[in-house]
Amino acid sequence: MRRTAVALLLLACPALAESLEDAVLAYLAAADDGVPERWQVTGNLGAALTSGNSESLTLAAGAEAKRAFDPWTLGLKFTQIYTRSEGVESANESVLTERLERALSAKAWLFQELLLEHDEREELTARVQLTFGYKRLLRKTDRFTWHAEGGAGVLHEEFRVNPETEAILQIGTDFVWKISDKLTYTQRFVVYPSLSESGEFRFLAESMFTTPLGERVDLRLSIIDKFDSNPIAGVEKNDLLVTISLQVRFTKS
């Protein structure tokens, strides 16, 4: 009986029916905003070869994945680096980074970042770093996006002799510059001052030039520079890696 009354009411008042239809469509549109986007996945494989006074081969492979669960965004990044110098393995490093961001507004985020690093060939066998902080959008145009961030956390390093744990800060900036339709430049710089040891710090600088070769394939030049102001004996302060790689992009539900 109630259904019949509602149907007659809607037939008698077309304006009411139209307004109800608009309300339903608006509700569905709002509901779609909460549906997670698909995984955005990028895989890359590159190499660097030197010859002459010394022979060296470096292979770098990695994958990045990102997914949004409004207001959250989860990012995962894995890199495997293998280096052979003068016929002897000199580096076999694995790096995993997880980053979770929570949007506060269109220009502000809270973040949590976890770094897991392992190298079978170094005295530093493992590095675990957990930080929390705040990220802010400084500038955004059609071709340029610039962020800054600050936070604090804890760093644990496992050596073959003695482990160390210390409190650290995280201060960084990053930008993406679309130079042209065929060339994009990405830069990230982060410094990690120690709160436990005065004057000690580490920094990470990552630069990347990307140009498309096809619908889903890019050519990428990557420069990664790591610096430690007080490394353990036998380890260089500066670690620079330059690779040219192919990058493949795809999505997955």
pLDDT at residue 234 in the model: 66
Residue 197 banded pLDDT, cuts 50, 70, 90? confident
Across 168-184, average pLDDT? 96
Across 17-31, average pLDDT? 44
pLDDT at 237 over 50: yes
pLDDT at 225 over 70: yes
Does domain 36-252 sit in CATH 1.10.510.10? no
pLDDT at 32 over 50: no
What span, in angstroms and rounded, lies between the C-alpha atoms of 143 and 115? 30
Residue bearing the bigger pLDDT, 34 or 216: 216
Residue bearing the bigger pLDDT, 164 or 105: 105
Q: In the numeric block, which tokens belong to residue 56? A: 């060296």
Residue 128 banded pLDDT, cuts 50, 70, 90? very high
pLDDT at 74 over 90: yes
Q: In the numeric block, which tokens belong to residue 88? A: 């002897």
pLDDT at 37 over 70: no
What span, in angstroms and rounded, lies between the C-alpha atoms of 164 and 225? 23
Residue bearing the bigger pLDDT, 186 or 70: 186
pLDDT at residue 27 in the model: 39
Q: Cis peptide leading into 71, omega within 30 of 0? A: yes
Residue 206 banded pLDDT, cuts 50, 70, 90? very high
What span, in angstroms and rounded, lies between the C-alpha atoms of 154 and 158? 13
What span, in angstroms and rounded, lies between the C-alpha atoms of 168 and 194? 5
pLDDT at residue 199 in the model: 86
